Structure formats: C-alpha cells, structure tokens
Structure 1
Amino acid sequence: MDIIVLGLMLLSLTIWLGLLCFWGQFWQTDQQLEVETYTTSLQSLPVVCAVVPARNEAQLLPTTLRSLLLQDYPGSFNVFLVDDRSTDQTANFAEGVAHAVAKPQQLHIISGESLPNGWSGKLWAVEQGIKSASKFAPDYFFLTDADIEHDPGNLRRLVAKAVQEDLDLVSVMVRLRCESFWEKLLIPAFVFFFQKLYPFRWVNNPNNPTAAAAGGSILIAREALERIGGIQVIRQALIDDCALAQSVKSIGIKDWESGRHTNSSFPSTPSSSPTGRIWLGLSSLTRSLRPYDSLATIWDMVARTAYTQLNYSPLLLLGTLVGMPLIYLVPPVCVILGAVWSNWAIALTGLLGWLLMTLAYYPTIRFYKCSPWFAFSLPAIAFLYTLMTLDSALRHWQGRGGAWKGRVYPNPDNL
C-alpha cells in the first residue's frame, strides 16, 4: 500500500513540476492591460461601436452603462444596447442613464427580436447589435456585458493596444466580484483554472494555436469579424468568447501559412506576423458587478458550461474525474496518511506537492487581495469544482444543460 501511495504522489508531484515549468507560466498574473504603457498619439482614431446584450439588467445599468458612456476615448464612440426581451424595463433604465450623463445621442437602444433556432440568446443579441452598428462603418466593435463597470480608460487602452501592436482582437478578463466568503473561496480559483486551460502567454503568442478571450470585454476589428464570417459562425457556442477568439486566431494562422497575410486597418508599424493576432490579459480596474455570494450561484455558473468545455465527451469527463483528484487531492491525502502511518517519505513528498500548488495559486490570490490562507485551500476548491463538472454533465444528460436567464440550450450537435 505504501508503494502505491508513494507512486501516486510522485506522479502528482511530477505533474506539478511540469505545469509550473512547461505550461506557459499560466500561474503568473503578469499579463495585465493596465501595467503596460501605450502612447496616445495615434495617427488615426478608429471609429468604435460598443455592443451590449442586456436581458433584465435594469438593476446594474445605472452603474455599468454609465461607466461605458463616460469612457475617455477621444475618437468616435457609440453604444448599441440590445434589449433582449427584458421584463424589468431595461430599455427605460438605459435611456434614463444616457440622459443623466448627457449622452443620449451616443446611446442606441435596439429592441431584440425573438430568438431563432440555432442561436444562443446572447449571440443573437450581439448579432442584432452589430448589424445596427455597422451603419456607422466602425473600425472596431467593442463587445461587452451589461454587468461590467468599466474603468474610464479601459476602451482607450484596448484601442491603443490593438492599434500599436496590430492585433485583431484584444480582450481582458475583468476583475470578478470577490466580496463574500464563497466568492473569496471559489472565484480566484475560477480565474486560476481558466488560465491553466488557456495560458495567457500561449494565447498571446501568434505562433501558438491556443486561443481564448473573456466575454466581458472584447475589442475586435471589423475586418477580422468579417474575415471569419461574422458572429453567425459561432451562433451555437455557449462558451462564445473562446469560440470567437479561436475563429479569429485560426483564420490568421491559415492565412499566414498560405501567404495571404494582410495588415489590419491601423498598423503602427509594418507587420511581420500573421493576421488573426489576439491578446488576452487581466484587468485590475475594470470589474464585473455580477454577485456570486453563495455556493449555489457559483455552482450554477460553473455547471452551466463545464461539460461544454469538455466538448460533451464522456471520455474527457472521465479524465477530469480521475485527473483532478490525482493533481489536487493526492498531495494533502498523502500528508495525512504519511503522518498516520509514520511514513515520512510519503508525508514530506505530499507536503512538497501541496506547497507547489499553493505557490502556483498564490499570485492569483494576491491579485484578488484575498488572505494568503486561501492559497492552501486549493485541494478543497478543486474537489468542489470537480463535483460541479460532474453535475454539469448530469444536467446535460437530463436536458437541463446550459440554462441561463430562463433559457436552456441543448447540445449543438442535436440542433
């Protein structure tokens, strides 16, 4: 028994060493929009149109829409809010906010049409917003959620990043709300696991196929969106932000390999990299106001798309149910068993593995300004996320997968 336990622990330790040394330094939090410096003297100021899908968001709009309308971007900027058949007077609240900040001419409210077959609700709203905004011939679309409170300089920094580095898509994972106990326990881990799935350095490397984005704040060039065929190419995607980033980056790599590279509309320098270049980072200033103040709300948020992330694959689900305990639970279990059995080789090896995962998690804990003690709780957190993933699969098999704001989306393969 001792040999089996020690073997599992050595395997877990090897995995952690591999993750820390060779997995894109995912555990770092150095890819941040606000820490980078951009010049403001652009030769041309691109025209930007924001598209905001909103379904029953009247409570948050006085803060979030206000922050969007008061962006300090010096170029042409209009906001298209798509009222996705709300029942809480979302449109009236939005109009009131625009008048309150003396920006009524900058806000365009669109009454959402009924949801057609084969579309997710959010993407159908985005499609309608883009169609209306296209009349302004924007150079960039700014896709953002109705629960995001934007720092006044967020759009200006996104545009500067895109223009000066010749990027087709720039996205930031906004700071998620982290106030209640359950948010402090589980929300930083959500970001940590996302970075492990999509190491930001790999995403930002044009020669690496890894692609991801964060749907709360995405700036995409109109030409790039047209190049991939528009929003309709991902109309069924529940994880729409990553699907959009994958479409943009994969088209760019294919164009580069076939010699069809063309520069974007506003290059700051001649580009030697493929189109489809994307960038993803963290934001310490722009934040989500969506509350997840109970275990149930966070559980539902994760379970809504966890099985989708596994491509509805039973084999990948099985791998997750085996892999997560091996990586996260074996080290603390070995510490306990080693102490009980007085086998210090097992106990010390388990402690080393636990310390490695704690060190990996600590930068995220520090970014969210939580107590360092939360970094030691990653094994328990991983166990909860494993249960959420299993529940996500069960909901899918029961026909309840992908539920969001009164809508349930089936497996796209069955549409």
Structure 2
Amino acid sequence: MTDPRPATGLRALLRSDLQDEKPYGATQLTVRAALNTNENSYPVPPEVVSDMLAELTTVLPTLNRYPDREFTDLRGALAAYLSRSGTEIGPDQVWAGNGSNEVLLHLLQSFGGPGRRAIGFTPSYSMHAIIATTTGTQWTHGRRSQDPARLFTLDPESVGAQVADIDPHLVFICSPNNPTGTAVGLDVIEAAYFAAPHAVVVVDEAYAEFARRGTPTALSLLAGRERLVVTRTLSKAFALAGGRLGYLAADPELIDLLRLVRMPYHLSAPSQAVARAALRHADTMLSTVDVVKDQRDRIVVELTEMGYRPVPSDANFVLFGGLADSARTWQALLDQDVLVRDVGIPHYLRVTAGTPQETSAFLDALAALGDDHRLSDRKAR
C-alpha cells in the first residue's frame, strides 16, 4: 500500500518513482539450517581453494594496475564452459559482471530506460522488476497459468499474446523460474522472440545446472537470433555466491553495445582470478549438483506425503503450498532454527535444497507442526 504521507527530508529529494519502494534483501540470520537464499550449502573444495590462492598470489602484487578491462582469459574460460552444453559459444559472445544482477543491470541500462517497456511473468525473480524500476523502465507483470494442473507454467500462446500486447523493449523469462522452480520449453522462448520484433529477450538460466535430465537450454537458440540473451551465474551450482560472478551469452554485436554502460574496469583482478580457478575445476565444483538434486526431489516426495503441495522443481529449491498462513509457518520453522523464504505468494513458502542434514532438519521441523498449519481441502479448492 502506498504511504499517503508526503516524503520529507532526504527522501523528498529521491526520484518520485522510488519514494515508495523498499530495498531488496533476504533475511540473514545464524541458524542451523539457512535454506532461504538458494545458496549451495557445500563449501568450495580444498583443492580449488588452493588453486584460487595460487592465482591470487600472482595477482595481488599487481593491484597497483587496473585489471584487464575486457577480462579476456575469463571470457574464454566461460565460453569453453558454456560450449559443454553442445552449443559452440565463442569468447566474443560472452559478457560478465559482479553477479548476474550486474549483467541484468547492463541490459536494462542499454535497452531499457525512460519511455521504454519491459515484461516478465509473475511470480518470478523479483530483481528483474526492481532493476527495471531503478533504470526508469516501465515494468509489466505478465501472467502465469493458474490452472492447478499447470500451475505457474507458461505456454507459447499466452506468452506470445501478452508480449505482443505491450510491444516491449525487453522480455524476461526465467528458466528454471525463481521462485517456482518451473522450467519452460524452447517454444515459449521462440514465441516471445517472434512476438517482440523490437525487443531483447532475456532468458535467465541462473539455475540451469540443476534442471532435470532433458530440460533444454536457450543457448541452443542463440544462433541467428541477435536479440536473444542467456544469463547465467557461478553463485548457485558453482557454490560461489560470495565470489559475485555472473555472465551472459549473446550475439557479439549485442555484447559490444554493453560496453557503453559498464563502469571502467568493473571486474576486479581478484574476482577474475577466483572465477578462472573455479572454471578450471568445473567438474569438481559441480560435483555436488546431483546430491542437491536428490535432496530437492526428496523434499517434493516427503512434502507431498505430509499433505502439502510442492511444485515440481528444476532448480535447487522447492516452492510448496497448502499452508493456512505462510507467515505463521515461516515463524514456526524459524523458532526451530530453520530459515526458509516467504516469497510473498499467499499459502506458499520456498525452501532451498541443502545438505541431507539440513533437509532433514527442515522436514522434521515442518512435520512437528500441527495440522492447523495446513489448508483444509475445502479451503484449498
């Protein structure tokens, strides 16, 4: 609800479209099971840490000089990693920033702004709309299916019609989607691309490595589609959330346009060094992905048995419904030292798939709650 009181003090000097906004932020607490921000619960392996330290030992004496502005070696390493998907990606197709949020910011600074429109499909990653707002881009909340049999999914016909209706400058599609965990077919992305002939179509694949077998990646659509962008991150599957390294793949000409908005030397030499070392050990860094996927699937099975309604997930988290009061259940879990995420969807909470021990802590804590935490079948309908 908009505060009817006029802004005063410094807030009165703030841009009018930001005066009623709140900053993004997830709860940060020390608990036995922190399962609210989709981090990888496993630490960086010792052999990778050793290689990172060796890289930093080489880099630190040179910090009197600016880093490689074009992060050339890192772009090559990222391109080689993406090419493992089966689609050949060249270094000139890769861009990176301090987390995927920065590359999203670069896209909105380049192709959004005052008088321009963007659309995403709610519920989805909240930073898409937030970054759009901070760049003065008009944001439209597109719709996802509310059909219980296809809840939170997207189909090409609906996406195409919604996109064509507003004629946007940017389209955001998250696959697997955060917070629902649902992935989309390539036909949905193609429909958006066709329906928005003047828009950059951004496919956010932050959780792609956790997708179930057979889930397609939009990387395979890049060839011949100069307005298509696929964003990724090292924060999730690579267990490098603290390293702040996100990246994207796109047409080389689009990459070149992003240089117009990036800050000079935006990727520090230590950031580049740590990311290069992580990518050299990609198989080791990704070795926990299957373990996390097992815990995710375990959560879906056990929540179903408890009478809750989890959404099938292709990510490292599970959105689950059937809650009488999501805020009350969130607090009841926190009282047992288990932290999950209230994403603002009535009757739903989101939980990260952690270690087996963390998953057990969550499931045991939820099982200990009374039946009054679940919606009755009558109310659910």
Instruction: Normalising by structure 1, report the TM-score.
Output: 0.25
Higher helix content, 1 or 2: 1
Name the larger-Rg structure: 1
